[in-house]
């Protein structure tokens, strides 16, 4: 499950079921083709504050997983070296559509970090939804 997908999920049947917390068991970073126009259009569709919060949580989980050897990374290009440590500003830049460094970092966070296995946790009910092989089950 990519973080773009996560940013748009809400716990079913709740009023305050967003954003879902992530408990990462396995994650990967894989390269995907960068499209500046697509990434710029996604800025209006995502909850940027929730994305930053999720990224902070994923970074902490990544540190824990690397310590025990469960986090795999696939790096194929110098651009992919941004890794999970990609720094995003606290707010979206005013001229984000022309800011290639911002768009590259945002693209990496949204499209190249994948949660392979883990759980989504509802903030309202604490119900856990499994993620298996990159597919979240919200049933």
Is 19 within 8 Å of 74 (Cβ atoms)? no
Any domain includes 97: yes
* Domain assignment present for 138: no
Would you say residue 136 lies in a domain? no
Q: Is residue 83 part of a domain?
A: yes
Model pTM score? 0.83
Query: Which of 83, 59, 60 minimizes the C-alpha distance to 73?
Result: 83
- Whether 40 is covered by a domain: the verdict is yes
Q: What is the pLDDT of residue 71?
A: 52
The answer to whether residue 39 sits within a structural domain is yes
Residue with tokens 């995003």: 88
Can you give the CATH number for the domain in which 30 is found? 2.20.25.10
The mean pLDDT values, 10 residues at a time, for the chain of 139 residues are: 96 95 92 96 96 88 61 44 64 95 94 95 97 95
pLDDT value of position 58: 86
Counting Cα atoms < 13 Å in the Cβ hemisphere of 76 gives 8
**Number of domains making up the chain:** 1
**Residue 42 included in any domain:** yes
Structural domain boundaries, residue 85: 3-131
Collapse the DSSP code of 28 into the 3-class scheme (helix H, G, I; strand E, B; otherwise coil) and give the result.
strand
């Amino acid at each position: 499950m990519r973080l773009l997908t996560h940013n748009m999920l809400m716990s079913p049947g709740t009023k305050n079921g967003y954003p879902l917390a992530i408990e990462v068991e396995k994650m990967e970073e894989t390269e995907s083709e960068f499209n500046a126009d697509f990434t710029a259009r996604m800025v209006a569709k995502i909850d940027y504050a929730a994305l930053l919060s999720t990224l902070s949580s994923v970074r902490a989980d990544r540190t824990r997983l690397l310590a025990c050897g469960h986090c795999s990374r696939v790096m194929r290009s110098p651009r992919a070296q941004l890794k999970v440590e990609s720094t995003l500003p606290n707010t979206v830049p005013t001229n984000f559509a022309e800011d290639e460094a911002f768009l590259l970092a945002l693209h990496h966070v949204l499209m190249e970090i994948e949660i392979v296995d883990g759980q989504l946790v509802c903030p309202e009910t604490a119900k856990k939804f499994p993620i298996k092989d990159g597919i979240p089950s919200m049933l």
